Structure 1
Amino acid sequence: MTTATTFSQWQKQYIGGEWTCGTSEGTSTNRNPFDQSELVTIQLASVQDIDQAYQEAKKAQSNWQRTKPEERVALMKRAAEVMANRRAEIVDILTRETGSSVAKANAEVDFAIADIQEFSSIPLKMNTEVRPSVIPGKENRIYRMPVGVVGVISPFNFPLYLSTRAIFPALAAGNGVVVKPDLQTFISGGLIIASILEEAGIPKGLMNVTVADVSEIGDAFVEHPIPKVISFTGSTAVGRHISELCGKNLKKVALELGGNNVMIVLEDADVNEAASAAVFGKFLHQGQICMSLNRIFVHRKLYDDFVNAFAEKTAKIKVGDPTDPEVFVGPLINKRQVDKIQMWIDESIRQGATCLQRGNVSGTLMEPVILTDVTNEMPIAKNEQFGPVAAIIPVESEEEAIQLANESDFGLSGSIFTSDLDHGVEVALQIHTGMIHVNDQSVNCESHIPFGGEKSSGLGRYGGEWSLDEFTTVRWVSVQKETRPFPF
């Protein structure tokens, strides 16, 4: 199967249940980040297309809201089955469009299917609650209702999963959806999901995908009057801007933003186990995951042993073409990311970091980098890298590790390694973060568990019933069953 036959079908927007050309004069070319080969060029969506998509979603949602819960459950289950049947196609797209390794691409499909299956229970959880009243003869009913239409903006790093995570609970709860995927991954972040839902039998107009350039549409996707909730996954800087727009327009916002995640290796930890977990949590998908390890704090007593073990395990990583099943580290999404990270590495070394390993750089391919004697103030530790650079920081005590971990403005995920599990939990609860794992690395997600961050890492939670909270509202309906006396 050639690139042309694989990707030529992805040249159109999905609006109102139809595959249609965008009406913008601009185009965007989707390129393979590994070799920069052209995959497909799409005519972009205009502001008018976005308006049409929201109008179509609103029109379709009014009927969808009234469907029986069993119908919405059935759609979710059919979509999960379709995605499973199209795994090979999706994995191929993920490796060639996003630079995902084969293992990471398969894991992303697994995560997405698991989420859809979990969210298939949402229609059955939208129960009406009855509560007593202080007024005689009154019954209070609390209804959980869909918000109407949800706008979803998804990123480039885990595009299939991070789009799925917002699209499917919103649909399951009775909403319409309009998606704006990242321009660099508009197939895996939007169009393939539309195709899957179309095959599963979704009503026309209920889910729409608009591939647009923010330099043309500006804030139109967020400020449009129809969507009541904006779900955004991406950088903290953009998240702040979207939050401001939503506040101004009185919209609800769900934000999953950046991370500066830590691993704390306490002095009683198993060095070999900690190093194995750290290599995986640092270099999976080239470190381009919001949950990736960004800072590794190691007690001084274990520092040298840990660094040696980490380096030995890193040496086993194969770097190269992500379509090769043996490759673990593939390309970064673009050359700008590479150049930025190289600048941070150079500046950190000037500030005193020791470069234990600095592999070759070829285009968007970066071999793993290991920096030791790093401090919290160095650029490579202070910034969210989104690259294959391990910053290993020595600490003199547990207290110092906790203090340094909490100095970051971010609080998404993290990790504690220790032989005393109860104490590990005590330490974990002192880290200001939305998620943290004892004796595991930081990249974890489970469909029925709340996913989200604190501080500059976001607002709200995804997963299980927490997703239900994000995409629904509650309505109080009281029923006065007996005549209520009034003084008039």
Structure 2
Amino acid sequence: MQTPATDLPQLINITAVAGKIFIDGEWVVGEGGSIPSIEPATGEVLAQVGIAGAADVSRAAKSAAVAQQEWAALPHPARAAVLRRAGALWEQHAEEIGGWNVREVGAIPALAGFALHVSAAECYEAAALPSAPLGTMLSSEEPRLSLAERVPVGVVGVISPFNVPLILGIRAVAPALALGNAVLLKPDPRTTITGGIAMVRIFEEAGLPKGLLQLVPGGAEVGEALVTHPLVRVIAFTGSTRAGRSVGELAGRYLKRAHLELGGNSAFIVREDADVDQAVNLATWGSFLHQGQICMTVGRHIVHESRFDEYVEKLAAKADSMFVGDPAVGQVHLGPLIDETQRDRVHALVEEAVAQGAILAAGGTFEGLFYRPTVLSRPPRTAKAYCDEVFGPVASVVSYSTDEEAVDFASDTEYGLSLGIVSRDALGALELARKIPSGIVHINDQTVNDEANTPFGGVGSSGTGSRHGGLDANIDAFTETRWITMRREPGQYPL
């Protein structure tokens, strides 16, 4: 039976870890000093968080490489047990960590709770990886035993973003550790408490040996040090397409794998036979959850012309009815955007679209970092609010007349992350989906979904394919394949 949350000791003593990073099992002052963690809803300083430098990354990588060898040599039940304990700890400390998620990230409590559920699930799923088959037996034309063995890569660098820092960190951290690797974690400095300190503390309490999970928050300098360090063999990066291109280019130069989960501008197709009320319910979640700060967010609503006017009217009415405010002090539908830079970018895209001919059906205003859910009707296809990733609560709605036109609209993008289609004819919707490049497809659902046991990833500018989630994807991401042969007697060669 789990210990009630009220009887648990505090997981995060923010005073003890304030202004520090985590290197080789110790909380130490980083080379980069410290910065404030700001609550976006209020502007209040929650704590000082430590910032690493390139020298910290080098020190962490060296100690991680040593610790990894002992960790990989442990019997698989020992590694699995750590992952199971970590899963239970996410559940036991959900209230405390969820509070940090609400205040530091600006997530509404429902999203914070979902993130904690997925974090626990990722650890439970990862606990099955240590006992997974180690490889395959191969045919050989020679009189020998021929094997393909999966072995840990060694040290993995995980770079996670601000928007959903728990899920987007743990989905790489947990399987990488389970498969016998060590991890250097670089969360976004704006959400280091939620996306870094909480994760380190969970695994500390779960009994993970020192050196196997190290925390090196920082900016581009730290990211570059992670990618270029010779002991870091694989990079798992989640973030913008722009930053991902830089990471991929640098990783290629240093001949190491980079698993890139990048931006999106997901399409949501509402077919002629769809129920508009059901579609609007799905679309509201898909476009406005977490203020639209999710890579899978519905950006482009592609609605059959016979349903278009009703759809826009009802989606706009829904947007106008939603409450926007501080998720820590009241029940709201949307919290704040992460900072002023992001708010100003979102607003500029909305204003530009209206200037280009889009009809502002709802929203388009803000107070502080609280941006109203916004509906743009009939924006031109060249408007950036329509064709680019906004990362804000902005829904662009266009109409189509034929399936061919719907495919053209949905495919007319550099991104290919998630796709949603609403139709009473599910098989017909699936046939439509097969004509549209996308890493994820949801029929009669919106685009924002995540489960720990499923492969996740996009195509095109949305990333390098399914590299997170599921047995096969995780093993492929965080192990190397080694060919082994054995002969009864030494072979004879003619030279």
Superposition TM-score, scaled by structure 2 size = 0.95
- 1:308 matched to 2:313? The reply is yes
Structure 1 segment 265-280 matched on structure 2, within 5 A: 265-280=270-285
Matching residue of 1:431: 436
Matching residue of 1:394: 399
Structure 1 segment 20-59 matched on structure 2, within 5 A: 20-24=28-32, 26-59=33-66
Aligned-residue offset at 1:359 = 5.3
Matching residue of 2:196: 190
Is the partner of 1:109 in helix, strand or coil? helix
Matching residue of 1:470: 477
Q: Is contact 2:320-2:363 (8 Å) kept? A: no
Cα–Cα, structure 1 residues 177 and 122, in superposed 2: closer, same or farther, change >3 Å? same
Structure 1 segment 79-478 matched on structure 2, within 5 A: 79-135=86-142, 137-214=143-220, 216-217=221-222, 219-324=224-329, 326-358=331-363, 360-460=365-465, 461-465=467-471, 466-478=473-485
Is the partner of 1:179 in helix, strand or coil? strand
Cα–Cα, structure 1 residues 181 and 124, in superposed 2: closer, same or farther, change >3 Å? same
Q: Is contact 1:166-1:231 (8 Å) kept? A: yes
Tell me whether 432-441 or 322-331 shows the greater mean CA deviation: 322-331
Q: Distance in 2 between matches of 1:487 and 1:58?
A: 42
1:25-81 Cα deviation digits (max 9, x unpaired): x42111001111001113421211111111111010010110011011100000011
1:78 to 82, 85, 97: 85
Q: Distance in 1 between matches of 2:95 and 2:482?
A: 44
Q: Distance in 2 between matches of 1:111 and 1:350?
A: 41
Return 5+ residue gaps in structure 1 as ranges: none
Aligned-residue offset at 1:128 = 3.5
Aligned-residue offset at 1:282 = 0.5
2:487 to 455, 480, 488: 480
Q: Is contact 2:319-2:374 (8 Å) kept? A: no
One-letter identity of the residue aligned with 1:252: R
One-letter identity of the residue aligned with 1:19: W
Aligned-residue offset at 1:371 = 1.0
Q: Distance in 2 between matches of 1:428 and 1:232?
A: 27
Matching residue of 1:13: 21
Tell me whether 266-275 or 476-485 shows the greater mean CA deviation: 476-485
Cα–Cα, structure 1 residues 128 and 347, in superposed 2: closer, same or farther, change >3 Å? closer
Q: Distance in 2 between matches of 1:270 and 1:470?
A: 40
Aligned-residue offset at 1:375 = 2.7
Aligned-residue offset at 1:325 = 5.4
Matching residue of 1:66: 73
Q: Distance in 1 between matches of 2:433 and 2:193?
A: 38
1:104-144 Cα deviation digits (max 9, x unpaired): 10011011111111111111114242223111x21101111
Q: Is contact 2:347-2:364 (8 Å) kept? A: no
Q: Distance in 1 between matches of 2:64 and 2:187?
A: 17
Q: Distance in 1 between matches of 2:128 and 2:222?
A: 36
One-letter identity of the residue aligned with 2:476: D
Is the partner of 2:406 in helix, strand or coil? helix
Report percent identity of matched pairs: 39
Aligned-residue offset at 1:348 = 0.5
Q: Is contact 2:159-2:223 (8 Å) kept? A: no
1:270-300 Cα deviation digits (max 9, x unpaired): 1111110001110000000000000001011
What is the aligned length?
482
One-letter identity of the residue aligned with 1:123: P
Cα–Cα, structure 1 residues 139 and 413, in superposed 2: closer, same or farther, change >3 Å? same
One-letter identity of the residue aligned with 1:279: T
Aligned-residue offset at 1:482 = 4.3
Q: Is contact 2:216-2:222 (8 Å) kept? A: no
Q: Is contact 2:371-2:393 (8 Å) kept? A: yes
Q: Is contact 1:102-1:324 (8 Å) kept? A: no
Aligned-residue offset at 1:415 = 0.3
Q: Distance in 2 between matches of 1:160 and 1:96?
A: 14
One-letter identity of the residue aligned with 2:57: I
Q: Is contact 1:21-1:43 (8 Å) kept? A: yes
Q: Distance in 2 between matches of 1:409 and 1:382?
A: 9
1:189-235 Cα deviation digits (max 9, x unpaired): 11110000000000011110012232x54721211111100110000
Is the partner of 2:396 in helix, strand or coil? strand
Aligned-residue offset at 1:331 = 0.2
Cα–Cα, structure 1 residues 467 and 337, in superposed 2: closer, same or farther, change >3 Å? same
Cα–Cα, structure 1 residues 218 and 486, in superposed 2: closer, same or farther, change >3 Å? closer
Q: Distance in 2 between matches of 1:470 and 1:229?
A: 8
